[in-house]
Amino acid sequence: MSLASAPPNAPFDICGVPTVTLSGGFSDRGTPLAIQFVGAEFSEQMILQAAHAFQSVTSFHRKHPELVPPPQLERTAS
């Protein structure tokens, strides 16, 4: 797996530091965005508190992207 296709927390997992990734809203095109909290080793409680504080003052985690069905492909006679 290349780093380009790895999950966003992969470099931190390799280093052994805690992360938490939360919904951070949507782009102008409706693409979901994320925010990631990263802490020092053994700082899980601190980043979880930060994540909780973030979600306490935002509503991004309650929103969902609009799902649009893919376009139908036209079949051609062979």
Query: How far apart, in whole angstroms, are the C-alpha atoms of residue 12 and residue 63?
Result: 27
pLDDT digits (tens, 9 = 90+) for 25-65: 888 888 888 999 999 999 999 999 999 999 999 988 888 87
61 Cβ contact list (under 8 Å, min separation 6): 22, 23, 55
**Backbone torsion region of residue 63, taken as left when φ is above 0, otherwise alpha when ψ lies between -120 and 50, otherwise beta:** beta
The pLDDT assigned to 22 comes to: 92
pTM for this one? 0.68
For the chain, the structural domain boundaries read 7-58
Residue 21 · residue 36 · CB < 8 Å? yes
